[in-house]
């Protein structure tokens, strides 16, 4: 090799050594970014929202976890609970976002209807015989399009699967919003968990009725109460080793629901659980919550402080409404 060529090669190698390794460097953190779980009140629909910081988290589960979960819940294998739909377990990244602390309520839905004149084919109220303030129950019988229409009106969005799952399970890979312990009646509005009546449906309750089941960021009812629409189509995750099992019912046929409900089954409360309905399909145990990505500069703005200060009064109002019959 000539001296000139040798010098050029050395120069290129030196330049490459100065470049950061691909994927090795974490993006610079916004110095004004608030702590995880910081709450605000969104001005459009008066919803309390909590902050989920950006970064990596564990999404999905692997086969050994699926086998253990199925056995712990009393099922013969993980295919009975369709856990292959949650494969593979991997690290994924999301940008920081706010998510509704509670499922969108009947009261919020009625306010949306009043302000827009929207007419739904199905009522969004709880089933007859409910106990409590109807305005604090999750809005149900919501189609995918209706959930998105509400989100658009509120200048928010439906959560992606990634966003929903991070908000539900945090960054430590837990199976459920509260940890790795199996569901109990204190942790969510669930189906009947007793051996005698296993998986019989129950009924909805007012949002936030089971604080012991809160997620790491303070989100309520991310397991149980109402199923929640996300923004994604139900498709196999990339590199799913059992994707062929999903081919008959995927291909932009169903939208993804998360979180289980008071009607489905105990395995639906795992934070990695995925479920799907056709876009026009809905039932009296299907609702939603929204996300919001703050604009650049929001955390350093006076508006952020105003929105934070509103949370105390809004939570107090919710507490008062909870006492109304």
Q: How confident is the prediction for the chain on average, in pLDDT? A: 92
Determine the Cα–Cα distance for residues 141 and 149; give it in Å rounded to an integer.
14
The reported pTM is: 0.90
User: Is the dihedral angle over the CA atoms 164, 96, 66, 207 positive or is it negative?
Assistant: negative
Residue 128 vs residue 230, higher pLDDT:
230
pLDDT value at position 23? 46
Q: Write out 77-112 in H/E/C secondary structure.
A: CCCCCCHHHHCCCEEEEECCEEEECCCCEHHHHHHH
Give 245-271 pLDDT, tens digit per residue. 999 999 999 999 999 999 999 999 999
**Predicted pLDDT at 195:** 82
State the pLDDT at residue 136: 97
Average pLDDT over residues 169-187: 98
pLDDT band at 131, cuts 50/70/90? confident
Per-residue pLDDT, 29: 63
Sign of the dihedral through C-alpha 240, 242, 248, 249: negative
Q: How far is 204 from 264, CA to CA, in rounded Å?
A: 12
pLDDT for 15? 40
pLDDT of residue 191 exceeding 80 = yes
Reply yes or no on whether the pLDDT at 10 is more than 60: no
| Residues 225/138, Cβ–Cβ less than 8 Å | yes
Does domain 33-320 fall under CATH 1.25.40.10? My reply is no
Assign 128 a pLDDT band (cuts: 50, 70, 90). Answer: confident
Question: What average pLDDT does the segment 292-316 reach?
Answer: 97
Query: Residue range 180-197: average pLDDT?
Result: 95
Q: How confident is residue 16, by pLDDT bands cut at 50, 70 and 90?
A: very low
Sequence spans of domains, the chain:
33-320
Separation in Å, CA 149 to CA 292, 295, 322: 15, 21, 27
CB 221 within 8 A of CB 235: no
Q: Are strands 227-233 and 286-287 parallel, antiparallel or unpaired?
A: parallel
The highest-confidence range among 7-16, 63-72, 124-133, by mean pLDDT, is 63-72
> What band does 5 get if pLDDT is binned at 50, 70 and 90?
low
Q: What is the pLDDT of residues 194-228, one digit of tens each?
A: 988 889 999 999 999 999 999 999 999 999 999 99
- Predicted local confidence at residue 263, as pLDDT: 96
């Amino acid at each position: 090799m000539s001296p000139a060529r040798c010098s050029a090669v050395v120069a290129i190698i030196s330049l490459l050594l100065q470049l950061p390794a691909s994927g090795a460097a974490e993006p610079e953190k916004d110095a004004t970014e608030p702590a995880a779980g910081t709450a605000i009140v969104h001005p459009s629909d008066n919803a309390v929202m909590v902050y989920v910081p950006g970064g990596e988290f564990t999404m999905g589960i692997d086969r050994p976890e699926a086998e253990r979960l199925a056995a712990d819940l009393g099922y013969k294998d993980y295919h009975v609970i369709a856990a292959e739909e949650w494969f593979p377990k991997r690290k994924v990244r999301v940008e920081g976002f706010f998510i509704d602390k509670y499922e969108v309520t009947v009261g919020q839905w009625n306010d949306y209807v009043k302000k827009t004149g929207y007419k739904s084919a199905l009522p969004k109220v709880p089933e007859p015989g409910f106990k409590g303030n109807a305005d604090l129950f999750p809005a149900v019988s919501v189609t995918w399009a209706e959930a998105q229409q509400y989100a658009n009106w509120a200048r928010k969005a439906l959560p992606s699967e990634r966003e929903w799952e991070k908000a539900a399970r945090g960054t430590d890979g837990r199976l459920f919003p509260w940890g790795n312990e199996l569901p109990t009646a204190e942790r969510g509005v669930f189906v009947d968990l007793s051996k005698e009546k296993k998986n019989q449906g129950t009924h909805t309750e007012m949002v936030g009725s089971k604080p012991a089941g809160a997620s790491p960021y303070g989100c309520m009812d991310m397991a149980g109460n109402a199923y929640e629409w996300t923004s994604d189509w139900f498709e196999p995750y990339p590199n799913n080793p059992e994707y062929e099992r999903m081919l008959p019912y995927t291909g932009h046929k169903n939208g993804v629901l998360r979180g289980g409900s008071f009607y489905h089954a105990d395995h639906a409360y795992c934070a990695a659980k995925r479920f799907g309905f056709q876009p026009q399909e809905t039932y009296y145990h299907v609702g939603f919550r929204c996300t919001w990505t703050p604009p650049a500069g929001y955390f350093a703005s006076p508006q952020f402080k105003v929105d934070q200060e509103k949370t105390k009064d809004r939570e107090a109002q919710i507490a008062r409404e909870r006492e109304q019959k």
